[in-house]
Structure 1
């Protein structure tokens, strides 16, 4: 029986050719392919600038630095995310706190955010940066979050690692209408891939310049920005403490090729989700929402065991699916429950909506190349699990 993963990349002959062309070229790094990829994604999203990096984690890190996050500052994100959404602030010397999720959308609750901001302001501080996460590809309530940013004076970084191809209102996620910077991920399980890789979009030329410096050791070759007269074509100056976060030419070429099929793949994900919605409606599962006013990229299709309708636990469902060679997964263990965070101020802290969601959630296979036959097998296995006696699942 063939194992069906929860997510996987799709690589075409055109993708292979694009990478092979770079390998035969004069540039494997710092050539023309990275700017080409950056321009393609910026134009797609409606952003003025894009900065490609070697991972979304790197993108989050330099986005925080570009916004001046540092020692003594606080960043807020959600517990329901991968640890990188929080770690990026700690890399900068800042501290991290969390805002609980909305139990329906599974995104940062704008209501909880506003409540927490009111308390924080009364106590004499507000976060320097808020990092909402577009979980599973569904956009957060960015108009509300952006309005709160204006009212309380914090910066916004959209963690859109799941959400390239998604839309909010009349624009694409990544246009930064309600934020300073948006970060995308191109890990192999994401909607398009560069193997590893990430990218930041922004409408600010200054933020783009800062991130460009930081991704490459803080170095410039721009004579107009140098402290000393240009000594020759070899001359460069380090203006800041940066990092080696550059994307390679091969990665960028793969990304540009993949991006040509982005809308097609998102449409296929919606067809898969429509089939799941229809075929799973009779099972004791809470199915994901797709809100009016936004268009999800559907990176994930997450179901939750409905404890009011079955005594089957999430662990039993997960193990039974894996036993049937269905590669379900869990997204995510709440960040504040991780040992590192418990040891650094989060012991005894609770975010009930995130914790309740985590106790019930399972991510089903969702990727553009998932065949109708394989999806039918996933559905059939789910139906079987909920109809057999529980003791037989052991």
Structure 2
């Protein structure tokens, strides 16, 4: 039994805010511009420089970034978007905001990411039925990239666009390149929610190597408005003129948020290194317990937003989950499969549709994972898991 008291609550995720972060935000608050100033483009540049992409479009959330990415790729009524059932509902909802239809591809039982084999089989059937997707949205679950090279090869065969939902994965690497370089995709999207790798409070970003796509996403985050005379209908009335040339949304990030993100970027590698060390210790200590720990592909370097284990069966999971919560450990479950949500029943989805995602869900528990998780806190978590499973 750990010497930590049950009154010491350990969350599954927590932001890491330094004095430098606070000072960066205060500097913007004391400036003339707290939104649409210099901090947003500086933050965008810092992210694309890190990832090796060419353009970044910061938004009010990752959901907003997914939406504008789908809209910029002209996803609409009559089109299909395929994503993973093992994700937060935002991945699938982004397609519905565009009036498109959603379908899912089951996961790989080891990585918990979209199964390339299942995708290939589903594409072959869809081609025969004339229902190929316009967009496939792989989700880098927990911080580990999907097999993007293989998915890209399928896109060349079947003609779909790719949006990487990399909400969990900034700081991760695939084939020794940063996640978000967009070598194998049209767009990659990051989340900066407080429990993610870096935070802007709330916020997201779409990165791309396509200048035209970046320009359109930038307009769509700001009502579809342009001040560029080359894009206007007719001649401008004057230097003050602007035109709404398509329907967009109000998805802008503030300079206050961007200043925090820009400061956090300076510690991104440190955050990921700490998360990976914590994961390695979990791997070592839990190897002697009847749990399944996350599998890591040899060509990956996960950012470890999450550390999900699998225990026994659904009954065991409930007992372990509640016991850990009672011990002051804020474990969570990621994710309830999207296709089982009540709002998705109207489309004919239900339990039994995607067996691997459902099997993972029934046994999954996300353990505490954040950069400042102390050695004592982690040992308390490990000790309590051992105690419960005994």
Distance (Å, rounded) in 1 between the aligned partners of 2:15 and 2:351? 39
* 2:117 pairs with 1:111: yes
> Which residue number corresponds to residue 102 of structure 2?
96
* 2:358 pairs with 1:355: yes
Compare 298-307 and 142-151 and name the one that shifted more: 298-307
> Which residue number corresponds to residue 369 of structure 1?
372
Aligned counterpart in structure 2 of residue 33 of structure 1, from 33, 36, 39:
39
Aligned counterpart in structure 1 of residue 389 of structure 2, from 386, 389, 392:
386
User: Contact 1:74–1:96 at 8 Å: present in 2 too?
Assistant: yes
TM-score, normalised by the number of residues in structure 1: 0.96
Change (3 A) 1:285 1:204: same
Query: Structure 1 residue 349: deviation in Å?
Result: 5.4
Query: Structure 1 residue 347: deviation in Å?
Result: 3.9
Query: Structure 1 residue 348: deviation in Å?
Result: 6.0
Change (3 A) 1:357 1:349: closer
Aligned counterpart in structure 2 of residue 132 of structure 1, from 127, 131, 138:
138
> Which residue number corresponds to residue 3 of structure 2?
none
Structure 1 ranges of 4+ moved more than 2 A: none
Distance (Å, rounded) in 2 between the aligned partners of 1:74 and 1:14? 44
Query: Structure 1 residue 227: deviation in Å?
Result: 1.1
Change (3 A) 1:201 1:283: same
| Secondary structure of the corresponding residue to residue 156 of structure 1 | strand
Instruction: Note the 1:270-349 alignment, pairs <5 A.
Output: 270-307=276-313, 313-347=316-350
User: Contact 1:6–1:367 at 8 Å: present in 2 too?
Assistant: yes
| Per-residue deviation, residues 357-384 of structure 1 (Å, max 9, x unmatched) | 0000000000001111111111111111
| Per-residue deviation, residues 38-78 of structure 1 (Å, max 9, x unmatched) | 00000100000000000000000010001110000000001
Change (3 A) 1:341 1:376: same
Query: Structure 1 residue 312: deviation in Å?
Result: 6.0
User: Contact 2:351–2:358 at 8 Å: present in 1 too?
Assistant: no
Distance (Å, rounded) in 2 between the aligned partners of 1:228 and 1:14? 48
* 2:265 pairs with 1:262: no
Query: Structure 1 residue 294: deviation in Å?
Result: 1.1
User: Contact 1:79–1:336 at 8 Å: present in 2 too?
Assistant: yes
Distance (Å, rounded) in 1 between the aligned partners of 2:204 and 2:110? 28
> Which residue number corresponds to residue 197 of structure 1?
203
| Secondary structure of the corresponding residue to residue 348 of structure 2 | helix
> Which residue number corresponds to residue 4 of structure 2?
none
Query: Structure 1 residue 230: deviation in Å?
Result: 1.9
Distance (Å, rounded) in 1 between the aligned partners of 2:338 and 2:325? 24
Distance (Å, rounded) in 2 between the aligned partners of 1:365 and 1:21? 33
> Which residue number corresponds to residue 391 of structure 1?
none
Distance (Å, rounded) in 1 between the aligned partners of 2:80 and 2:348? 13
Distance (Å, rounded) in 2 between the aligned partners of 1:132 and 1:306? 28
Change (3 A) 1:330 1:347: closer
Distance (Å, rounded) in 2 between the aligned partners of 1:349 and 1:104? 19
Distance (Å, rounded) in 1 between the aligned partners of 2:153 and 2:32? 48
* 2:24 pairs with 1:21: no
Query: Structure 1 residue 124: deviation in Å?
Result: 1.6
TM-score, normalised by the number of residues in structure 2: 0.97
Q: How many pairs align? A: 384
Instruction: Note the 1:43-54 alignment, pairs <5 A.
Output: 43-54=49-60
Return 5+ residue gaps in structure 2 as ranges: 1-6
Query: Structure 1 residue 170: deviation in Å?
Result: 2.9
